[in-house]
Amino acid sequence: MIHNKRLLTQIFAPVIISGMLIACQGKKTETSSSGADSTKLAADTFDSNFKVEAESFADLQLLRYQVPGFNSLPLAQKQLAYYLYEAALAGRDIIYDQKSKDGLMLRKTLEVIYGTYKGDKNSDDWNKLKEYCGRVWFSNGNYHHYSNEKFIPACSYDYFISTVKNSDTASLPKEAGESVDAFLARIKPIVADIKYRPKLVDLRPNIDNIMASAVNFYEGVTQLEVENFYSKFDTKGDAPSWGLNSKVIKENGQVVEKTWKVGGMYGPAIEKIVYWLNKASTVAENPQQKKALDLLSKYYQTGDLKTYDDYAIAWVADTASRIDVVNGFTEVYLDPIGKKGSFESVLSLKDLETTKRIKAIAAQAQWFEDNSPLMPEHKKKNVKGITAKAITVIAESGDAAPSTPIGINLPNADWIRKEHGSKSVSLSNIIHAYNVAGAKGGMLDEFGLNDTVKQRIREYGNLASDLHTDMHECIGHASGQINPGVETTDKTLKNYASCLEEARADLVALYYIMDKKLIEIGVMPSLEVGKAEYDSYLLNGLMTQLTRLKPGEQLEEAHMRNRQLIARWVYEKGKKDNVVEFVKKDGKTYVRINDYEKLRTLFGELLREIQRIKSEGDYNAGKNLVETYGVKVDPVLHAEVLKRFAKLNIKPYKGFIQPKLVPVMDGDKITDVKIEYPTSFYQQMMEYGKQYSLLPIKN
């Protein structure tokens, strides 16, 4: 199975991103607290005057991140970055269509309204519709980016009709000869009916998860038909990730794939991606990087998944390049049965200083594997090279934006990781922006147990979070092995595979963050760092992540399930020895850890069991773990958490406005590439809509 290597989190003030998941020209820095546009960053360090926070609406806070080091790059690397930036944005339409067959029609309709509406733009109704536009752009569609629940405008549908009719109706994404009224009738259930395709990904047990999900990876087929279709594909050994780059439909009564490639589905966008990848190849930093880029281009042209594996192997082998990119159909969280990859791209440059810490951890990968609590037969005897680094993100697109990972470990194929190694990265400038924004929060003061816990988190929380991310990615995902003859987790663990994989990687990080080995290798000053992580992780898993749910909702998102699964399991299993408990003070609930060493032992026991489940393909045991500990929410505790959180006036979700790369031209020759930092999310979304609308509304 393709595993999502993200760590997403609740952010506390001032420092926690725990349990979450990289000669100077233009020296002038234009930044002000009033929000004036910062268009250049002069040095290789962060500008403390840079305004991180931008617009906010609904439950969302937009941030901006800096790219220190970009202006110091030589011209060839700037050109390479620019071409890969364009390749990233060329695929933007794809994620909207993947999330819903109506996604592009809805987005383009909203772009017409927002850009051409002639009525009053100061009314409450307009502000409600504007908020809806922002939410759709943030989520790459009309399903919440985290909960998967459908959302509709807070204004009436009659008002929506009036805005459509008072805009440039000729620019609406109508079908040939379609009237405005007919178009409105067609779009009405999408915009106005909350029960029409109500959930993006529905992971409930004992239902047809494909038929119940709105995501656009399957059409006219049942889950059983899809599973039977893929049962014919061999997934043992070095088999490709079958189904990763296609939509499954039924034609003439037969189940078939529509491959995403040049000349196939999403062809116009992929052709543009290939164009920019080929340009990038001409300025590659070295032959290995050129080989990887050429193979990626070939894969997009042919749709051949064996070529994709060749690309992944070549990409892992490119350890020398300063500029790097993830571009492709990568993570499978949007697929209810974990096969189809969502388009995403992360363009970055190596953060040379911060890389030292994560490399020190990766260098000990075999020691961590040998000393883990896994069953001996589930340990790798020879952990292949893990290339670990911190990266400075230059730009992101697709499923990686605006809501971003803070850590990535790729490739996803277990056999490639076992035989060829992997790349593990921490997104250092993204983490920096989160920390700056989080410093104003108040979560820690409200939910922290006492002064001892709060002070420990304030002192060590940033480092604890960074270490957790580093170990989750470069040690956690790279650890363990599937037993010989056992098929990949998309077949064995199915809709529970992603949650269990993230729990497995989190548990590796949690187990080792209280190990003196980290002190010995110089990445951690004391075990107080580990205690800070335990405090914040348990608090998040048991309580504060519930701020992201509405009353009555259960946990759906894989990372949220994974965190609660871990926290609830150790809470329940540790009751006998009172390892972790809920305590009441002044009518408020808090989490208290009474024995950190016993808690570490419990983390090890759960890690051992989840690795066994993965190694043996034990679906029933995996299902039981997730459904028992990772899904259900205590409604009384949830209500309390929401009430306390509401008083803080904090947005529970954060995402980013992307930097903009602008080439300086001399005729048809690039002489420099400038980096700009836009301040308006809405303006950026409109610009993207004009510049990167490459697909029709039906694909």
| pLDDT per position as a tens digit, 610-640 | 999 999 999 999 999 999 999 999 999 999 9
- Average pLDDT estimate for 111-117: 98
Asked whether the predicted pLDDT for residue 341 surpasses 70, the reply is: yes
Q: What is the pLDDT of residue 284?
A: 98
- Report the distance separating Cα 47 and Cα 44, nearest Å: 9
Q: What is the pLDDT of residue 277?
A: 98
Q: What is the pLDDT of residue 385?
A: 66
Asked if 226 and 218 touch (Cβ cutoff 8 Å), the reply is: yes
Lowest mean pLDDT among 264-273, 293-302, 542-551: 542-551
Tokens representing 247 are: 């939509």
Q: What is the pLDDT of residue 421?
A: 87
Asked whether the predicted pLDDT for residue 467 surpasses 70, the reply is: yes
**Cβ neighbours of residue 93 under 8 Å, at least 6 residues apart?**
104, 266, 269, 692, 693, 694, 695
- Report the distance separating Cα 139 and Cα 154, nearest Å: 17
Categorize the per-residue pLDDT at 156 as very low, low, confident or very high, splitting at 50, 70 and 90.
very high
- Report the distance separating Cα 505 and Cα 502, nearest Å: 5
Residue position matching structure tokens 């490399």? 359
Categorize the per-residue pLDDT at 41 as very low, low, confident or very high, splitting at 50, 70 and 90.
very low
CATH level 2 (architecture), domain 287-654:
2-Layer Sandwich (3.30)
| pLDDT per position as a tens digit, 284-327 | 999 999 999 999 999 999 999 999 999 999 999 999 999 999 99
Asked whether the predicted pLDDT for residue 22 surpasses 60, the reply is: no
- Average pLDDT estimate for 321-343: 96
Asked whether the predicted pLDDT for residue 30 surpasses 60, the reply is: no
Cite the residue boundaries of each domain of the chain with CATH code 3.30.540.30: 287-654
Q: What is the pLDDT of residue 462?
A: 84
Asked if 32 and 476 touch (Cβ cutoff 8 Å), the reply is: no
551-15-355-396 Cα dihedral, nearest 10 degrees: 40
Q: What is the pLDDT of residue 440?
A: 66
Q: What is the pLDDT of residue 422?
A: 87
Q: What is the pLDDT of residue 44?
A: 61
